[in-house]
A and B are shown apart, each in its own frame.
Chain A
Amino acid sequence: MADTTTDKPAEAAAGGDERLAHRGPIQTLLTRPEIGALLGAVGVWLLFWLVSAPFGTVGGTANFLDVAAYLGLMAVPVALLMIGGEFDLSSGAMTGATALIAILLANDINGAGLGLHIAVPLSLAFALAIGWFNGTVVEKTSLPSFIVTLGTFFMLIGAKLGFSKLFTNKVLVEGLDEAEGYEFWNGIFGAEWLRNNHLWDTRTWSNLWIVRDEMWALLLIGGIAALMIGTFELTYARRQSPNVAGLVVAAGGTVLALVGLIYLLAQDGTTSNWIGGILVAAGVLAKVAGWCRFRYEAPDRSERGTSARWWQYLISGIAALVVSMIIAVVMDATDSSQLGFLSGSFGKFVFALGIAAVGVLAVVAALGRITPGYPMFGAVLVALPTISFLVTVQAARVILFGGLALLGIMLLWSTARRVQPAVTVSLAISAAIVVLAFFIQSESASRKLRVELFTVLLLVALLLAASAVARYLSAVRTTAPPPPQFGRWMHVCAALGVAAVVVFAVIELVDGDGILYALLTGVAKGGIVGFVAYAVGTVGRTLLTRDEGVGRALVTVGIGSVLLSVATRLMFVTGSELETICTVGTDGELRCPQTQFGVVVLSFLVFAAIGSWLLMRTQFGSWIMAVGGNKEAARSVGVPAARTKTTLFMMVSGAAWITGMLIAFRLTAVQANVGDGNEFRYIIVAVVGGNLLTGGYGSALGAGIGAVIWGMISQGIGFAQWNSDWRFLVLGALLLVAVMVNNYVRGRAEKAPTASAATRPDRTEIAIVVPAEPAKGAKED
Chain B
Amino acid sequence: MYNLIGAGLIVIGGGIGLGQIGGKAMEGIARQPEAAGKIQTAMIIIGALLEGLAFGALILGK
Bound pair (A, B): no
Report which B residues bind A (CB closer than 8 A). none
